[in-house]
Copies of this chain bind each other. A is one copy, B any other.
Amino acid sequence: MNALSDLQATLDPSRKSWVESANDSTTDFSIQNLPFGIFSDKTNGTRRVGVAIGDEIVDLAALQTAGVLTVSKDAVFASDTLNDFISLGRDAWRSVRIQLSNLLARDTATLRDDAALRSKALVRQVDAQLHLPVQIPGYTDFYSSKEHATNVGSMFRDPKNALLPNWSEMPIGYNGRASSVVVSGTPVRRPNGQLKLPDQERPVFGACRKLDIELETGFVIGSGNALGEPIACADAEAHIFGMVLLNDWSARDIQQWEYVPLGPFNAKTFATTISPWIVTLDALEPFRVAQPAQEPQPLAYLRHDGKHAFDISLEVTLRPQTATQATTISRTNFKHMYWTMAQQLAHHTVSGCNTRVGDLMGSGTISGPTADSCGSLLESTWNGKNSLELKEGGTRGFIEDGDELTLAGWCQGDGYRVGFGTCAGEILPAQK
């Protein structure tokens, strides 16, 4: 077991690194962060586990080989996914976090003063390629923003009864498609599908005309549960390894026609983009805040004491292919979410459903209380009716071919950030 004081020390806002770029107050990757990912680079094309620090990546496989990073399983970082490392359990995640924080701290000479090892173990982010960080056995997407559900309900059902009765009783969720989860930077092809046009009796086949983002976060399961053995709400956070940004690309016109009665399918399965770095729950601890008040009080299996929301600033930018500047089209915060991650996981498993290491759970679209804090174009343009004016590149109702959409997210500490990097994707034209 790790001493709690050692874990606490990794969060000390005054801790600085000898990797000077990590001390920049605007970097996402301060020494307080230490997010995990999978990378390769030009000199070494093999995928392996890395941790982002400032403008660099620390190669954990190299550190383990060199004997300066100790973990219970040999070569666990010489892997193309994080699953084996995550499977070692929370004590191992924390031990590695503590060791890395110490190794990278300004006053620790081990790596700082060993030029040979440093040249092996530090790779500049600009020279690296980032890959999907986990093999994802299951992907589930929730629908837990009250503002988002209210906007959608107002638009498509009844503004006076925008929220369905079940919404306030449980974190509504559905199974998504794990196969098409891709890492940030992967181009996304506009999907074809069935479109039901208002002036025609039968659907037509063609390219989606209402392509949209959904600004979400996702959490990654760090330890699963056996079939038939639910995870209690109070225990749920201990099962979470960390969080990513997630863009749940959505074809609104395909969705509108297909989704009754079994939910969205083709409208969502063509791609879901996640950011490459998994920010651990330990790194997010200082940014824990109270969740919104829940009324009515949830049923007992969904109750937890204490604070279970996290103050994560989020923004979305859109850059047309020909534009040099991107336009910020949304600014919001994860803390607005009505249902917490712990409640989502407790609900997911209450029927006995099992979860596995690497499972990804999307938050659902994160919308704030104002028009400029909507997590989807569906909401901010009110189903395309009110176009957004871009700084450069015209206006948008929905996404056009060549547009690059980028999510960003960070927690603001005192003089430092714990950030997620970006989650970006450019839209390619539909297949002819």
Contacts and interface: CB of A to CB of B under 8 A. Distances in A.
Interface of A: 137-138, 143, 164-166, 169-170, 172-180, 182, 189, 191-194, 196, 202-205, 227-230, 251, 254, 257-267, 269-271, 296, 299-301, 347-348, 350-356, 359, 431
Given A227-B180, A299-B205, A352 B189 contact: yes
Contacts of A300: 205
10 contacts: A138-B177, A166-B258, A174-B174, A175-B269, A180-B227, A189-B228, A193-B351, A205-B300, A260-B261, A263-B263
B173 A270 contact: no
B265 A179 contact: no
A200 to B, nearest CB: 12
Nearest to A142: B262
A166 B251 CA distance: 16
Given A203-B299, A261-B263, A170 B194 contact: yes
A59 to B, nearest CB: 28
Given A170-B258, A173-B262, A269 B351 contact: yes
B230 A431 contact: yes
User: What's the dominant secondary structure at chain A's contact region?
Assistant: loop
Copies of the chain in the assembly: 2
Contacts of A257: 166
A178 B299 CA distance: 27
A175 B260 contact: no
Contacts of A270: 227-228, 351-353
Contacts of A261: 164, 172, 259-260, 263
Given A166-B257, A205-B300, 8 more contacts: A138-B177, A166-B258, A169-B202, A179-B353, A192-B230, A192-B350, A203-B299, A269-B351
B203 A266 contact: no
